[in-house]
Structure 1
Amino acid sequence: MTRTDEQRFLDRFTMIMSESGYPRMAARVFTAILLSEHGRRTAGELAEELDAGPSAISGAVKYLIQVDMLVRERAPDRRRDHYRVHESAWYGAIRSAREVFRRFEEGAREGVAVFGADTPVGARLEETRSFFAHLSDEVPELLRKWREMPPPASAP
């Protein structure tokens, strides 16, 4: 794989995350760490690799730590923090999506009350409410199944 292939993939995965609602710089930082050889990067390494300023990196790292996608670590004999992907980053992302589903469900429920269930608008809102209620109900079971799965085999 060439550096160009790696850069294209970094850009593509960043775009997937960004289009899924993650802030663009946070998506770039997360992807750069995910793709790093040892699974960790310092802020300086991220700034250099992504050609970004320290404040952009700092803001992205702060966001990713808050949403449990990254972990900050410091080796006892080192002066710099390293950031790595949280071991349950995707689990947490899906778990937090459940809150979004709940908000859509509640909002649609309010809309049905405003427009009436017997109107075309109310019917669409009821379908929306029902859809997000179903997703919200299914997420805990999906997460339970994921937790029960054996970990994937590590790459050599």
Structure 2
Amino acid sequence: MPGGRLTDEDRRDIASGLTDGLGYAEIARRLDRPTSTITREVSRNGGARDYRADRAHQATLRRARRRRTATPHEPPVAVGAPGRDPVAVLAFAEEFAALMVRMGLPRMAARVLASLVTTDSGALTAAELVGRLRVSPASVSKAVGYLEGLELVRRERDARRRERYFIDDGMWLRTWLTSARTNAMLADTAQRGVAVFDPATPAGARLDHMRRFFAQLSDDMSGAGTATGDVVTVLDALVRAVTPDTANRLATELGWPPDRVAAALFDAGQLVR
């Protein structure tokens, strides 16, 4: 029935459709299911190339067993507010992780990031991540290190000297501006190539086209001359205007420890420079 759980027969039909080269929407139409259901099913079970009905079925059974056996102290996902459907939370976390993988993030790093995003506090210890993801501490450590390198996650020690891993509200803006800077670097490199090759030659013309493309993309993303640029300017002014007294009031208002506010203000200052 539409909206119900996929059956073993449904999965065989999905595998057959993928083999025949059908798109997710067409497979969903034939099974009378939402396209998002098929997309999520295939993404979390190997993707279109590696999807196998039997393996997908076994993986679903294993996930169900993990949910049933998870302890109260180490739930498989962040359930959050009372009344929130843990199955829906798990499905969303897997969908989010699959999207991050398609965007180039390693799978374990994507799963760690999805766990933090779907946790109300936005913070977990290494032990909590190991319990949620059912992986080794070494896998979690490697994934966190990778995410730190991208400035998507930061770590702090709590009162019990345990390391906690955080995401913060500024990480998406920081990622966006980092991408803008990368595009600017590509434009600069292409410009040097244009100086080496004659722009009248095919190679020189190609590099010039690349330069113009990435220069425009960088300007668009960084907000040069746009409302986004104004936002960055205002943010810079606000960060410069913060005093220790206003920082303490901000910490009280947010319910954060002062060192977290200080770290966030430092990150904001780095963003706009």
Q: TM-score, normalised by structure 1?
A: 0.77
2:156 to 55, 60, 73: 73
The one-letter amino acid paired with 1:83 is Y
Does residue 228 of structure 2 align to residue 145 of structure 1?
Answer: no
Q: Match for 1:145: what amino acid? A: V
Give yes or no for contact 2:122–2:168 (8 Å, CA) kept in 1.
no
Over 3 Å counting, the alpha-carbon distance change for 1:112 and 1:64 in structure 2 is same
Change over 3 Å in CA distance of 1:18–1:130 after alignment to 2:
same
Structure 1 stretches of 4+ moved >4 Å: 146-149
Match of 1:84, as an amino acid?
F
- Cα drift, residue 90 of structure 1: 1.0
Equivalents in 1 of 2:101, 2:128: separation in Å? 21
1:14 maps to a residue whose letter is A
Instruction: Indicate whether 1:130 and 2:212 are aligned.
Output: yes
Unaligned runs of 5+ in 1: none
| Secondary structure class of the residue paired with 1:68 | coil
- Could you tell me how far apart the structure 1 residues matched to 2:117 and 2:234 are? 23
User: How far apart in 2 are the matches of 1:144 and 1:89?
Assistant: 19
Q: CA 1:70–1:147 in 2, change beyond 3 Å: closer, same or farther? A: farther
Q: Which runs of 5+ in 2 are unaligned?
A: 1-83, 236-253, 255-273
User: SS where residue 57 of structure 1 aligns?
Assistant: helix
Change in CA separation of 1:143 and 1:4 when aligned onto 2, cut-off 3 Å: farther
- The verdict on how the C-alpha distance between 1:139 and 1:5 changes in structure 2, with shifts beyond 3 A counting, is same
CA distance in 1, matches of 2:148, 2:229: 21
Give the secondary structure class of the aligned counterpart of 1:86. Answer: coil
TM-aligned CA distance change 1:5 to 1:120, over 3 Å:
farther
What is the match of residue 186 of structure 2?
Answer: 104
Contact 2:155–2:165, Cα closer than 8 Å, also in 1:
yes
SS of the residue corresponding to residue 116 of structure 1 reads: coil
CA deviation vs aligned residue, 1:43-73 (integer Å, no higher than 9, x gap): 1111121222111110111222233212212
Amino acid at match of 1:70: V
Q: Residue in 1 aligned with 2:112?
A: 29
1:90 is matched with: 172
Report percent identity of matched pairs. 34
**Alignment-mate amino acid for residue 102 of structure 2:** E
Q: Contact (CA 8 Å) 1:68, 1:86: kept in 2 or not? A: no
> RCO (CA 8 Å, sep 6+): is it higher in 1 or 2?
1
Q: Output the amino acid matched with 2:137.
A: P
Q: Counterpart in 2 of 1:63?
A: 146
Question: TM-score scaled by structure 2?
Answer: 0.47
Matched residue count: 149
